Chains A and B, each alone.
Chain A
Amino acid sequence: MTPALTVTVFTPLAGALLLAGVRRLDRAGLLNVLVSAVTFGAALALALEVAAREVVAGAGFRVDAFNIYLLVLTAFVGMTTSVFSRPYMQYVCATGMTSERGMRLYHVMFQLFIFTMLLALATDNLGVLWVAVEGATLATVLLVSLYRTPEAIEAAWKYFILCGVGIALALFGTVLLYFAAQHVIDDPAAGLSWSTLHELAPQLQPAIMSLAFVFLLIGYGTKVGLVPMHQWLPDAHSEGPTPMSAVLSGLLLNVALYAVVRLKMLVDGSLAGTPSAHLAGYLLMGFGLLSFLVAGLFLHRQRDIKRMFSYSSIEHMGLMTFAFGLGGPLATFGALLHMLVHSLTKSAIFITVGHAAHIAGTQSIDHIRGLLRTQPAVGWGLLIGVAAIAGFPPFGVFTSEFLLLSATMQSQPWFTVALLTGLVVAFAGLFRHLQPMVYGPVPEGQQPVQANMFPVLVHLGLVLWLGMAIPAFLAHWLDRATSLITGMHLL
């Protein structure tokens, strides 16, 4: 285990312990930013190591091309969100929506959440992966109910119960996986090591593996927000504090999808050569497409701005799940890129939405009006963010969606129709709500607020850059991840 890996994964844990002792609010916010920055720096150092050595492994951890880019992304979004959350949470605290104790809880849990995410990504052990993903639920559930309104408590309970049940089913899948592994691996301690299992995947019993995958997909799929297990997602995202929505949407969903893809790699290895070789892929395609289409339709019915964007997250997760199910280097490359640009764009949108709700004093779409005139920075931020997430060129989401559509056209042409329809439906849903919010008449007495749009600027700038020219090192990086997942290079 190299120092960079240790620092990346365990800084947030140490930060959480430190933050538990800090009483002063402004200091806690600053320390939160500092810890996140250290984590991000270490993640970058780790990325350099991985670039030099292909795989950094040791002590039950294993970082390769696939998870390193998600590690860097997680650390980066964690950092920018902590920059945003410092003034934002001070405003929340000033309005009396939460107490000083609530703020301490918030800071500790924020770091613990980042810790569980990084642990889930970096670990090689599928059992630890499960523990970390469950830990992420536990860390965030009290934050969803932070404001103590009846809605927030209802949302938190739903989140807790649904994700708890889902993740319990994933544990059953993990047990089955371990059961299958015992027949091929002598050392019981290595029976849950992903790398060992991946090497021996062709020997794993296909019948057990496919049953295990169904449980694992339902379990982790609940966390991805796949329809019909998505019920918790809009509630938890809309009722929790805004920085939480940003990291839930931008990071947690990615990590859950990462788990699904890792497990799919094992199942594919085991089922190769049997009549149902593409079982895992077909399951992912089905769930993905269903989520994509249903969430696009639900976008139209929303009245709460954060709920609307959480449905947009379900839609995009559905698209990525579909693409991973489709398989093949082009679709996988597109899906990996989409994970990246979706996280960046969606967390930028949630940060902007936090400011917009602050300006209007409500999250109700009907009452957010005239943002462009009241505060151009927030108005433009929202407009550009939504344009980016809807897949307009020249933003990165366009690039990845274009790749995904080409891949679909190549292997399953008929699905292109469904995908295009879904994209148009979602686009219409977003813009019909967005238009009055940014352009509409300004309500009386609406004042600009102190907004920190720097994180948004950075995120959207990166997305724009990725849309116009993917830097060579990143393309190379994603290509290596693609070849890990599919066994074929794209570039």
Chain B
Amino acid sequence: MNPEHLPQLQQLMMVLAAMVLFSSFVLLEQARLTAAIHAFAWQGVLVAMVTVIVAAGGAQTHLFFSAALTLVLKALLIPWMLHRLVRRLELDRHSEPLRRPALVIMAALALVIFSYWLVLPIVQQELIFTRNIVAVSLAVVLIGLLMMVIRTQAVAQVLGFMSMENGLFLAAVSATGGMPLMVELGVAFDVLVAAVLFGVFFFQIRASIDSLDVDRMNRLTERVDGE
């Protein structure tokens, strides 16, 4: 089935989903925290746009509400909070380039291919559309995970975590037309509380190790001679 046979709304969603994936790569590459936060905010905007399109497609009206919630939470509130924290922690000039950029990008690409491979059996009888969108969402989730693994800076890890949430939301909205409203509200609430707690932790970690490089937290190990 060729893409041009899909309804126009679905084509638009595919483009947007691809852009979400692209923004994941951008996020992964950023050396400066402020730039990474901006990339994350744009990802939030894109996910909100996908939500609006699904809602316009007539699936469920509560999706307009979800879209607004996503826009406020993921594109405005959380980036703003992180931005403020970064400034208060005086990290806005902090720059940490990837140690092996080529390798990281290759790994991310491998994750995208892996996601496509993983969803192959699911939807053989489904539309090509759903399969693509689930694969892209899974790739966004896995790239967020990759980011949490390779970044040692606490704020960057949180960005990875939040972009995983974006991928999950994208999957929920585009593949299933949105979860029930109560669940979506609960998830949004959890994400918001998590964001606040992360902020609290930045200060606790800084007070503890005088840095936000979480690799330096290595007191708890299984070493027997570790006294």
Which residues of A line the B interface, CB within 8 A?
60, 125, 127-128, 130-131, 134-135, 138, 141-142, 145, 148-151, 153-158, 160-161, 164-165, 168-169, 171-172, 174-176, 178-179, 182, 188-189, 191-192, 205, 207-208, 211, 235, 238-239, 298, 301, 303
Contact = CB atoms under 8 A, between A and B. Distances in A.
Contacts of A182: 176-177
A160 B177 CA distance: 30
A303 B182 contact: no
Interface string B146-189: 00100000100100010011011001100111011011001101
A243 B90 CA distance: 37
Interface in B105-125: 118-119, 121-124
A227 to B, nearest CB: 13
25 contacts: A135-B190, A138-B190, A141-B197, A142-B200, A145-B204, A150-B209, A154-B220, A155-B220, A157-B205, A157-B214, A157-B217, A168-B164, A168-B165, A172-B168, A172-B171, A175-B176, A176-B122, A176-B134, A178-B172, A178-B176, A179-B175, A188-B177, A208-B122, A235-B220, A238-B220
Interface of B: 60, 118-119, 121-124, 130, 134, 137-138, 141, 145, 148, 154, 157, 161, 164-165, 167-168, 171-172, 175-177, 179-180, 182-183, 186-187, 189-190, 193-194, 197-198, 200-201, 204-205, 207-209, 214, 217-220, 222, 224
Most buried by B among A125, A148, A165, A205: A165
B224 A301 contact: yes
A127 B164 contact: no
B114 to A, nearest CB: 13
A282 to B, nearest CB: 18
4 tightest Cβ-Cβ pairs between the two chains A and B: A127-B183, A131-B186, A154-B217, A150-B208
Contacts of B217: 150, 153-154, 157
Q: What secondary structure prevails in chain B residues at the interface with A?
A: helix
A146 to B, nearest CB: 11
A37 B176 CA distance: 42
Given A127-B186, A156-B201, 10 more contacts: A134-B194, A135-B193, A142-B200, A160-B197, A168-B165, A168-B168, A169-B141, A174-B179, A176-B122, A182-B176
A149 B214 CA distance: 15
Contacts of A208: 122-123
Contacts of B171: 172, 175-176
B180 A191 contact: yes
A235 B217 CA distance: 12
A191 B208 CA distance: 46
A192 B121 contact: no
Nearest to B209: A150
Contact of A211 (B122, B209, B224): B122
A171 B214 CA distance: 26
A128 B197 CA distance: 21
B186 to A, nearest CB: 3
B176 A165 contact: no
A178 B161 contact: no
A348 B220 CA distance: 25
Most buried by A among B165, B167, B172: B172
Given A125-B182, A131-B186, A175 B220 contact: no
B1 to A, nearest CB: 19
Contact of B220 (A151, A165, A205): A151
Contacts of A175: 168, 171-172, 175-176, 179
Nearest to B119: A211
A300 to B, nearest CB: 10
A85 B130 CA distance: 51
Most buried by A among B167, B183, B201, B219: B183
A145 B134 CA distance: 37
Contacts of A160: 194, 197-198, 201
B222 to A, nearest CB: 6
B164 A131 contact: no
B122 A192 contact: no
B190 A128 contact: no
Given A148-B204, A151-B219, A161 B157 contact: yes
A205 B122 CA distance: 8
Contacts of A157: 154, 201, 205, 214, 217
